[in-house]
Amino acid sequence: METFKGLWTSENGDGTYVTSVSNIPLDVLNPEQVLVQVFYSSLNYKDALSSSGHRGITRNFPHIPGIDAAGIVINDPSGKFKAGSQVIITGFDLGMNAHGGLCEFISVPSNWIIKLPSGLTLEKSMQIGTAGLTAGMAMLALQQNGIKPSDGPIVVSGATGGLGMCSILLLKHLGYEVIAITGKKGLHDFLKSIGVDEIIDREEFLQETSKALYSMRFSGAIDTVGGDTIIKILKSLKAGGSVAACGMASSVELNLQIYPFILRGARLLGIYSADSPLELKKKVWNKLAKEWCFPMDQIVKTISLEEAPEIMQGMLAGKTSGRYLVKTFL
């Protein structure tokens, strides 16, 4: 075998980028790293950005996107993993400046790899993927800061995205009341079908944002969008409430007075799953495999590599929802 199949993002002469399924030469793989046959990956917003040529995500092209991968070890020169071991790789530099998981084979450093936890299949692990792992890290942070179901509702912004829906399902699995913020009115019924207790229209929520504080409404939050949304959530927390900040799809700006922090004891918790220590990732993956294992069939669509480029374009246009599981090896 001289090539393997995968998504290949390359730059055109006019500065635009194209992503398509290609036969990729084996020599892009590093023989000094662990060789993994990838059976499943998933689609994330960061993959869509990478495939569009976003230099803040990926500096060098051509490139294989995909920040998630699950498969079987073929060879490990370090001797850490036996051939045939089932493994998960998420985050670090995978799919960013290292070739990613939307392909049949990857080579990665051994310290990026987690052995598949008991209770998970390769398929289930990529239904969860980075989105579910990030939701798990946010949940862990909220719990470590004392947020309990009895304290009141948790609000989830960007509720129809992969991270938002994973957060909703995990929160409901653990007994929390959930309020969802979304701009997609056509998905209100679907959100209710997966357990959301109340839905707030994003436009209505953001009509008024100038006050220093608002009535105390949320005990905690998982925010996936940033910008004015997270600012108003912070201003609307109950005393001692916490916000797990997981994304910046709306804005990277945080123009906020200090009042929520010194008058209500609000806590802003940064969640960055990509470069989190491997031991923390293992802890959360083990929880997601056992007591935090929540059903995902309602929010997951299974697709082929060939379908992925069009769906990533839809992600950039805000036209997708839920999770996309990619079968990479047939």
* Domains annotated on the chain, with CATH: 3-116+296-327 (3.90.180.10), 130-270 (3.40.50.720)
pLDDT of residue 158: 95
Contact 40, 8 (CB under 8 A): no
- Closest CA relative to residue 220, chosen from 160, 290, 268: 268
Least confident window among 204-208, 250-254, 275-279: 250-254
Going by C-alpha positions, the residue among 168, 183, 150 that lies closest to residue 249 is 183
Give 159-214 pLDDT, tens digit per residue: 999 999 999 999 999 999 999 999 999 999 999 999 999 999 999 999 999 999 99
> What is the percent of the chain with per-residue pLDDT over 90, rounded to a whole number?
92
Tokens, residue 197: 């207790």
Which stretches does DSSP call E strand in the chain?
Answer: 3-11, 17-25, 34-42, 68-75, 86-90, 105-108, 113-115, 154-156, 178-182, 198-201, 218-223, 237-245, 267-270, 300-304, 323-327
CA distance 215 to 197: 19
Q: Give the per-residue pLDDT at 277.
A: 93
Q: Are 74 and 125 in contact (CB under 8 A)?
A: no
CA 180 to chain centre: 17
Give the torsion through C-alpha atoms of 205, 210, 211, 216, to 10 deg: 20
What's the chain's Rg over C-alpha atoms? Answer: 20
Please give the C-alpha separations between residue 249 and each of 46, 105, 135, 246, in angstroms, as whole numbers: 10, 30, 16, 10
| pTM for this entry | 0.95
